[in-house]
Amino acid sequence: MAPQWCSHSIPFINIHSPVCSLSLTSGANMDPDTRRKFQSITQQQWGQLGYLDQDEATPTRGTIIDNSLPIFDQRTSWTLPAGMTDDQFQQFSNTLSPVFQLATKIAMSPASLEYFYYILYSARGELVELSSHHDSSTKRFAKTYSIGPEETARRVGAALERLASSLKWAFTNPETWPMEGSKAVTVWDTQNLSRPTMIMEDATCRGTPSRIHLSTTFLTTLESLHSQAGDNRNQILNVQFQMAKTILHELTHALDYAINNNAFTMATMLKNGHTVQTIPSTLKIEAREPYFEGEGIAELGCSWENYVFGGYVDWKFGETNTPSFVREWPSFLSEYEFTRGAPDSSPVRRQWVVPMTWLRRLHRQEFWDAVDPGDVRALHIPKSAYQELLNPNGGTTSS
Ligand SMILES: [Zn+2]
């Protein structure tokens, strides 16, 4: 079968230095040679970003109130390893609960609610063909009429609650199918096609159930950080954030599949013996993810990140000593982006360090209490210190 997935292994070609080995712990622990590799970012900037100190007021679990969405329920929605004991489950749950709390807050933030609402309620426009690249024909959707933050939250909340009954999560070895080395993958759940998703008020709108696989690296990295000696709270906050945003990135894909009747039809045909080659191309196009507004790539997870955080948030996966970066999306800095969209002519792009001060704020209930429900820029990441990256395509038109 041919699952639909998104796969992110985004290599950077870095002008200034390889992004490596930055200690996210205190200044005393930070290797000066390592720090010098980030030539474009000064010591003073690292200090201002909150990387050279710890904030005593910030525990690794944060202070945000535990009201995780039912969609993250570890007993009902997660495929747990066979033979897991109660103690092991408790440890699993303790490690992950700050991640689900954070993911819940971000999912229900103004921009995320709006974006989910657009996926659910915006009409798909005419067929778009942006370039000669394969996979580039699909539909486009845009912002639809506004119904106000409160009603948006109510409708999206109801849709996510219904989605919870069909969505499955699992930690999967990154080397095995369907991961193929990615950090996360969303596949159509062909085991569950006898029960199409019905998450809209309109019960005729039936879609495809999804199974979301996350790399076990997330779990092992967090567990290893928790068990290490020394103060590594900064690293833990970074990994928790990366996992939360990856969960929501994949959930965005699952939400679209859940309302896509053509995806359901195609998944059913594949299950019944069709191959991608024998499926009519019109159906394949209708089953595909749409473009959002004027974006050059149809990739809803990245598009959601861009809408919520003001850019695509990247991290050298599993490398706890590197910070997260945010960059314009699409920025055409990766093979992944090249093969899916229009070429870009800029030879250089910037990526900004995600401030540790900002990551700490996300873990505080006071931050969320102060968010204005109408402010779709509430979670936009402040951009100050940056690196410049070379366009691997050399800034010329790709063929
Ligand atoms: Zn994706």
Tens place of pLDDT per residue across the chain (399 aa): 333 333 333 323 222 222 222 334 333 333 444 445 566 788 889 889 988 876 655 566 667 776 889 999 888 889 888 889 999 999 998 899 999 999 999 999 999 999 999 999 998 887 766 554 445 567 888 898 889 999 999 999 999 999 999 999 999 999 999 988 889 999 999 888 998 999 998 888 899 999 999 999 999 999 999 998 888 888 999 999 999 999 999 999 999 999 999 999 999 999 999 998 999 988 888 888 888 988 878 889 999 999 999 999 988 888 888 899 998 888 765 555 554 555 555 667 788 999 999 999 998 899 999 999 999 999 999 999 988 776 655 554 333
Instruction: State the Cα–Cα distance between residues 332 and 351, nearest whole angstrom.
Output: 12
Q: Which residue from 297, 345, 344, 306 is spatially nearest to 326, judged by alpha carbons?
A: 306
Instruction: State the Cα–Cα distance between residues 66 and 288, nearest whole angstrom.
Output: 35
Residue found under tokens 């897991």: 84
pLDDT at 34: 45
Residue 99 in any domain: the answer is yes
**281 CA to centre of ligand 1 in angstroms:** 22
Strand partners, 213: 170, 185
CA geometry: angle at 44 spanning 42 and 46, to 5°? 75
How does DSSP classify residue 43?
Answer: H
How far, CA to CA in Å, does 26 sit from each of 30, 234, 321, 332? Answer: 6, 9, 12, 34
For the chain, helix, strand, coil in percent to 5 are 40, 10, 50
Q: Name the domain count of the chain.
A: 1
Q: Which residue from 106, 92, 254 is spatially nearest to 187, judged by alpha carbons?
A: 254
Residue 397 in any domain: the answer is no
Question: How, if at all, do strands 386-390 and 348-353 pair?
Answer: antiparallel
pLDDT at 14: 27
Residue 115 in any domain: the answer is yes
Q: What residues contact 229, with CB distance under 8 A and at least 6 apart?
A: none
Residue 376 in any domain: the answer is yes
Residue 4 in any domain: the answer is no
What is the model's pTM?
0.87
Residue pLDDT, tens place only, 321-364? 889 999 888 876 555 555 455 555 566 778 899 999 999 999 88
pLDDT at 55: 63
Structural domain that includes position 277: 27-390
Residue 17 in any domain: the answer is no
**56 CA to centre of ligand 1 in angstroms:** 35
Strand partners, 120: none
Residue 377 in any domain: the answer is yes
**299 CA to centre of ligand 1 in angstroms:** 6
CA geometry: angle at 3 spanning 127 and 302, to 5°? 60
**242 CA to centre of ligand 1 in angstroms:** 14
CA geometry: angle at 222 spanning 188 and 92, to 5°? 70
**36 CA to centre of ligand 1 in angstroms:** 33
Residue pLDDT, tens place only, 280-303? 988 888 888 888 988 878 889 999
Residue 35 in any domain: the answer is yes
CB 24 within 8 A of CB 320: yes
pLDDT at 203: 80
Other CB atoms within 10 A of residue 5 CB: 18
**4 CA to centre of ligand 1 in angstroms:** 10
Instruction: State the Cα–Cα distance between residues 350 and 40, nearest whole angstrom.
Output: 11
* Cα four-point dihedral sign 198, 202, 203, 207: negative
* 3-class secondary structure, 283: helix
CB 163 within 8 A of CB 254: yes
